[in-house]
Structure 1
Amino acid sequence: MSDLFHKHTPGLESPASHIMEITPNDGSDLTMASRAINVAQSGLVQITTVSGSTAAVYIAAGVAFPVRATRIWSSGTTASGITVLS
């Protein structure tokens, strides 16, 4: 399949090009920073952002929550079915 936009440099306003289902982990960062997080079951997601801030944010199921996260923590996370869009 051809991609008419492959020559364009993607920016943060561009759609995600990578999607990963993840398991929250207190000991390791994501392989790449997110553009957004989606969950299958609503709840809190404890994250660390690219600036180093850590907080629990409520994410509703089925909604892409725009955030540049580097880690999704197991501790403090109640949401499940977490997918990271990058």
Structure 2
Amino acid sequence: MTDRFATTSPSLSGPAFSGFPVVPSDTVPLPETTRALYVGTGGDVSVLFASGASVTLKAIPGGTLLPIRASRVAATGTTAADIVGLV
């Protein structure tokens, strides 16, 4: 299959290059800082941003793409599920 973007460097304004399942934890950081989070099943998402700020995003609908740079998704305060980290 042809990939016309194979030689293009990833950027924050372009599409995600990879992803991983997110396991919320109050202590374990994500394997990589995200460029976005996909929330499969709606609810609250408690995140630690790359800046060090933390916030709980309330009532996120399922199927939402959150364009945020997160270094951790906390278990405490997170009720959403099926979260995927996009990089």
Q: Give the alignment's TM-score, normalised by structure 1.
A: 0.91
Residue 63 of structure 1 is matched in structure 2 by 64
**Number of equivalenced pairs:** 86
Larger strand fraction of residues: 2
CA-based RMSD of the aligned residues comes to 1.2
Residue 5 of structure 2 is matched in structure 1 by 5
Q: Aligned ranges for residues 31-50 of structure 1 at < 5 Å?
A: 31-50=31-50
Between the aligned residues of both structures, percent identity stands at: 34
**Structure 1: runs of 5 or more not aligned:** none
How many Å separate the matches in 2 of 1:17 and 1:11?
9
Quick check: 2:34–2:69 contact (8 Å CA) kept in 1? yes
Q: Structure 2: which amino acid aligns with 1:78?
A: T
Structure 1 residue 51: deviation in Å?
0.5
**Structure 2: runs of 5 or more not aligned:** none
How many Å separate the matches in 1 of 2:34 and 2:61?
17
